[in-house]
């Protein structure tokens, strides 16, 4: 740290080599070239990681999707047969449909709960900081841990949730939550809402605090009511943040795996198998790696399309 003082000689234009800098080198490289070289060397490790463990597997995924590729044994080129098979695979089609259904149900729930929490805890009055912290508390817990918690909570005989409903005389017998598709889905949605709405809250809250208060004031002066201001001023101006929260929620839901694998196990009778769950099953339970890759590519395309549409939404909504 010794060489650094704020009072050091100043230079008007950034990055201009001076006599002071130039004296340090005797080699052939100019100061600029040396800085360029350092830049390349600095980003090299990152580039290597991403090439080796991201771009190569990505290319490999396309390639494998054109083959019949068992874990052991001979790979056979079969063209687009895997893709054709995907559209005749009733479990996959059901899984894709179920994933879409799950996404469509949970996204508005998370948005609304996040919005309500954000409205409750924004500002700086006494207590808001505490409640923010509490609502955010489940966010750092992993999806797997949270799922292992909730799968116990909803057990029919030893689980406390059924018992509490019973004690409140809301049910005669503790319900068999995981025995029916709708109630199993309800449990997963409750768990995910509990675990992630704090995250939505924080994002939406900071979006709200970025809205210039003059706009709301002006509307109020013009005679708008409290809820009119919310629906006609705040909500439209919150669109960039809403779009962002939407992207998070939709991408996360389309990739759902942990919560269904752990809580429902895909049951009852495979009705809660998600797209990623089926890819996992295809690739690592029945070891059809080529077919699994084809399904992965399809998932990637869907996700890219959805993200693209949503990013357009963000882009357009920032031009107000």
Partner 1 sequence: MKIGITKLVDLRQAMPALAWWVVCSALAALFIFPIYLMVMQSVKPLDEAVAIPPTLFPHQFSLESFLALSGENGSINIVHHILNSLYVAIAAVVGTVVVSTLGGYGFARLPFPGRNTLFFAMLTTFMIPFQAIITPLYLVLRTIGIENTLLGLALVYITFELPFGLFLMRNSFATIPAELEEAAFLDGCSPLSALPRVMLPLALPGVVTTALFTFFASWNEFFAALILITDQDKLTLPVTLSILQTGQFGTLNWGILEAGVVVSAIPCIIIYLLLQRYYVSGLLSGALK
Window of 9-17, 82-90, 94-102, 104-112 that interacts with partner 1 by CB under 8 A: 9-17
Q: Which uninterrupted H or E stretch holds 67?
A: strand 67-68
Which CB sits closer to partner 1, 20 or 108? 20
Instruction: Report the site for partner 1 in 229-258 (rule: CB under 8 A).
Output: 229-230, 233-234, 241, 244, 248, 251, 255, 257-258
x/- map, 163-202, partner 1, by CB under 8 A: xx-x-------x-------------------x---xx--x
110 near partner 1 (CB under 8 A): no
Which CB sits closer to partner 1, 15 or 320? 15
**In the block, residue with structure tokens 């990623």:** 276
80 near partner 1 (CB under 8 A): no
The nearest distance, CB 195 to partner 1, in angstroms, is: 9
Partners of 67 in the beta sheet? Answer: 77
- Rg value, the chain, Cα: 27
Instruction: Report the site for partner 1 in 35-64 (rule: CB under 8 A).
Output: 35-43, 45-47, 49-50, 52-54, 56-58, 60-61, 64
Dist CA 100 CA 107 (whole Å):
11
Which CB sits closer to partner 1, 153 or 189? 153
Instruction: Report the site for partner 1 in 83-102 (rule: CB under 8 A).
Output: none
Distances (CA, A) of 234 to 29, 120, 221: 56, 15, 15
299 near partner 1 (CB under 8 A): yes
x/- map, 131-170, partner 1, by CB under 8 A: x-xxxxxxxxxxxxxx-xxxxxx-x-xxxx--xx-x----
Instruction: Report the site for partner 1 in 201-220 (rule: CB under 8 A).
Output: 202-203, 206-208, 213, 216-217, 220
Dist CA 39 CA 43 (whole Å):
6
**In the block, residue with structure tokens 């709708």:** 182
Which CB sits closer to partner 1, 105 or 139? 139
The nearest distance, CB 182 to partner 1, in angstroms, is: 21
Dist CA 75 CA 314 (whole Å):
43
Which CB sits closer to partner 1, 106 or 299? 299
Dist CA 63 CA 55 (whole Å):
12
Which CB sits closer to partner 1, 77 or 148? 148
Distances (CA, A) of 156 to 57, 161, 162: 43, 8, 6
Which CB sits closer to partner 1, 86 or 202? 202
- Which stretches within the chain are classed as H helix? 19-22, 31-50, 56-64, 81-86, 90-121, 128-136, 143-153, 160-167, 181-209, 213-221, 226-229, 235-237, 239-254, 258-259, 275-284, 289-317
Which CB sits closer to partner 1, 93 or 144? 144
Token digits of residue 251: 């991408």
The nearest distance, CB 298 to partner 1, in angstroms, is: 9
Distances (CA, A) of 159 to 177, 215, 267, 291, 301: 11, 50, 19, 39, 40
């Amino acid at each position: 740290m010794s060489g650094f003082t704020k009072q050091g000689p100043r230079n008007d234009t950034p990055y201009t080599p001076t006599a002071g800098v130039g004296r340090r080198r005797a080699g052939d490289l100019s100061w600029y070239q040396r800085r360029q070289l350092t830049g390349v060397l600095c980003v090299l490790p990152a580039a290597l990681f991403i090439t080796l463990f991201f771009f190569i597997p990505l290319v490999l995924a396309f390639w494998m999707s054109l083959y019949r590729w068992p874990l052991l044994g001979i790979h056979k080129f079969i063209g687009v047969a895997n893709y054709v098979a995907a559209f005749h695979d009733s479990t996959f089609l059901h899984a894709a449909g179920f994933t879409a259904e799950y996404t469509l149900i949970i996204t508005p729930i998370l948005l609304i709960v996040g919005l309500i929490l954000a409205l409750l805890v924004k500002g700086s009055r006494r207590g808001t900081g505490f409640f923010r912290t509490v609502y955010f508390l489940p966010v750092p817990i992993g999806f797997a841990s949270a799922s292992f918690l909730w799968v116990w909570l909803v057990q029919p005989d030893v689980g406390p949730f059924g018992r509490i409903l019973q004690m409140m005389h809301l049910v005669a017998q503790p319900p068999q939550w995981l025995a029916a598709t709708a109630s199993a889905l309800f449990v997963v949605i409750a768990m995910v809402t509990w675990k992630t709405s704090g995250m939505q809250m924080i994002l939406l809250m900071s979006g709200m605090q970025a809205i210039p208060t003059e706009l709301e004031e002006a509307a109020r002066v013009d005679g708008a009511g409290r809820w009119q201001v919310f629906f006609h001023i705040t909500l439209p101006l919150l669109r960039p943040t809403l779009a962002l929260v939407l992207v998070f929620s939709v991408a996360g839901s389309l990739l759902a795996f942990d919560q269904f694998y752990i809580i429902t196990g895909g049951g009852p009778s495979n009705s809660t198998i998600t797209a990623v769950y089926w890819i996992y099953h295809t690739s690592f339970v029945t070891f059809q790696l080529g077919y699994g890759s084809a399904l992965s590519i399809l998932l990637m395309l869907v996700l890219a399309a959805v993200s693209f549409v949503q990013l357009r939404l963000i882009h357009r909504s920032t031009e107000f």
